[in-house]
């Protein structure tokens, strides 16, 4: 094979790869930007991550900036169809890359970025891993465009922002799915963005949870907040019944895994027998083996796949 033929084959392979990535990107349903209460918008992306947006005459507050600057630009475009008000604040609800890697776009717009100290710590620790393992190529996105943009302001347990006559409350109840899980409450709308604590009809990644029993406790405490509308990071808008169902789901994983380990079952036996068929139609059911493996490691070794020991996470604040 001569050099010209080799070059032609290489270019064809590259082209095929780019077209494949484009096809996957085109297959993804576009995010839906919709008003769910006065001044409050929900950006729902079934195949990605969700955001919440408060729009006032004095400025805009965004909860989570999505996975890539391209996604963040799309979110910004949606906001600009509603308002030209400045982007004042971004709240990062958790340390998973699909919720903060669009920060650079909103920082460019002048936003002050806010997060819990535990969230910042894990972002710094895991940024390169997140950047190199997220499925950017399959989405037709360039990972080199993702840059680390850390919070400007940290809060510990509670904080309040008043913007355009609307109050926003940041609440930390302890680690749920993650260290630093941040709830964002909009009292005027009786609406709560649930951070990593609650995912609607979704197999949330348990690889980061310091304690499933602790997660259940946070979920139950969260239900005492006066809310009718729940805006999850994954899955569509939810109700209190959805919260109860998800709480039962995490509690069932916790109790079933403990019982299986106490009975001496190996990880392989657990994966074969604990199929949780009642939740097989939930988003991300294919993650079951990975999630149960993480829980097994947590319960038998004291740490999950991604090493989030319970002793490191900031405990729930005292009442």
pLDDT at residue 13 tops 90: no
pLDDT of amino acid 14: 33
Break the chain into its structural domains and give their ranges.
30-301
Query: 275 to each of 39, 125, 233, how far by Cα in Å?
Result: 42, 33, 25
Q: Would you place residue 5 in the very low, low, confident or very high pLDDT band (cuts 50, 70, 90)?
A: very low
Rounded mean pLDDT of the chain?
Answer: 90
- Flag the least confident range among 22-26, 129-133, 163-167, 288-292: 22-26
Q: How far apart are CA 142 and CA 67, in angstroms?
A: 12
This prediction has a pTM of: 0.88
Average pLDDT over residues 140-155: 97
Residue with tokens 């109700």: 239
Confidence category of residue 7, pLDDT binned at 50, 70, 90: very low
CATH class of 30-301: alpha beta
Q: Indicate the burial class of 2 (C-beta count within 10 angstroms; 0-12, 13-18, 19 or more).
A: exposed
Residue 298, classified by CB atoms within 10 Å of its CB into exposed (0-12), middle (13-18) or buried (19+), is buried
What is the distance between the alpha carbons of residues 208 and 190, in angstroms, rounded to a whole number? 29
pLDDT on residue 61: 99
Percent of the chain with pLDDT over 70: 88
Residue 216: per-residue pLDDT? 98
Cβ pair 211, 177 in contact under 8 A: no
Which of 142, 138, 135 lies closest to 27 in space, CA to CA?
138
Query: Which carries the bigger pLDDT value, residue 196 or residue 313?
Result: 196
- Contact criterion met (CB below 8 Å) for 160 and 169: yes
Contacts of 102 (CB under 8 A, 6+ apart): 65, 66, 67, 68, 69, 71, 72, 73, 75
Give per-residue pLDDT as tens, 181-201. 999 999 999 999 999 999 999
Predicted confidence at residue 23, as pLDDT, reads 44
Residue 17: pLDDT band by 50, 70, 90 thresholds?
very low
pLDDT in tens, 227-279: 999 999 999 999 999 999 999 999 999 999 999 999 999 999 999 999 999 99
């Amino acid at each position: 094979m001569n050099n010209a033929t080799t070059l032609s084959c290489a270019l064809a392979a590259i082209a095929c790869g780019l077209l494949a990535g484009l096809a996957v990107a085109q297959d993804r349903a576009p995010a839906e930007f919709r008003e769910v209460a006065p001044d409050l918008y929900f950006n729902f992306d079934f195949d990605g991550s969700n955001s919440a947006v408060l729009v006032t005459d004095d400025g805009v507050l965004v909860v989570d900036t999505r996975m890539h600057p391209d996604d963040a630009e799309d979110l910004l475009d949606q906001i600009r169809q509603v308002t030209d008000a400045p982007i004042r604040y971004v709240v990062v609800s958790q340390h998973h890359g699909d919720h903060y890697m669009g920060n650079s776009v909103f920082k460019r717009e002048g936003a002050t970025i806010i997060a819990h100290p535990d969230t910042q710590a894990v972002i710094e620790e895991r940024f390169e891993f997140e950047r190199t393992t997220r499925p950017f190529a399959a989405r037709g996105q360039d990972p080199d465009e993702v840059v680390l943009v850390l919070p400007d302001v940290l809060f510990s347990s509670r904080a309040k922002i008043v913007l355009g006559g609307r109050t926003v409350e940041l609440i930390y109840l302890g680690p749920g799915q993650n260290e630093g899980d941040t709830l964002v409450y909009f009292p005027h709308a009786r609406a709560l963005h649930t951070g990593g604590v609650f995912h609607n009809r979704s197999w949330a990644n348990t690889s980061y949870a310091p304690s499933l029993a602790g997660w259940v406790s946070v979920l139950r405490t969260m239900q005492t907040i006066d809310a009718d509308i729940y805006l999850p990071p994954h899955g569509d808008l939810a109700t209190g019944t959805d919260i109860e169902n998800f709480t039962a789901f995490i509690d069932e994983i916790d109790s079933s895994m403990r019982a299986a380990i106490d009975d001496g079952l190996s990880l392989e036996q657990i994966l074969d027998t604990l199929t949780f068929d009642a939740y097989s139609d939930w988003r991300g059911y294919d993650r079951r083996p990975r999630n149960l493996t993480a829980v097994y490691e947590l319960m038998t070794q004291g740490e999950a796949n991604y090493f989030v020991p319970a002793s490191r996470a900031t405990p729930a604040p005292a009442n």
